[in-house]
Structure 1
Amino acid sequence: MTSKPFSLNKQFKELLQRVEGTSIRRKELIQLASSTTDLDIVQSTRLVARNVSRLTSKGLLSASGERNARTY
């Protein structure tokens, strides 16, 4: 079975390139998004949520930790 290509948000791709190491906490990812883009906290939270959901549904990202303290 071949996997179909899919697209990710350009801002989120750039955000992932700034992540150092192999894991990051969700709150840190949201803070990084709000500091590196022109988005406020609410918009950054939605950006992260949409793209993390997309990556986890494709099996490219895994989450661990409690509901309020996720690490990816």
Structure 2
Amino acid sequence: MSLWQLEHPDMIDNILYGVALRNNMYLLTLDLEFRNFLKKHNLKYNMLITHQELFGKIERQDYKSY
């Protein structure tokens, strides 16, 4: 079932979510409503990250390269 069929109105979120899910990518977002929508419908949401989480991943990656 698509996000649109589940009545999520933001098509940009829907498209970006689909791309991230299909390509095993992170989706950078601050949209807590979207995250809660995914949780409510038991959909995968662990690829959604905030800018703070992204910065943490970048910092950890920098340490690994030394």
Q: Which has the higher contact order (CA 8 A, sep 6+)?
A: 1
Query: Which structure carries more strand by proportion?
Result: 2
TM-score of the pair, normalised by structure 2: 0.43
Larger radius of gyration: 2
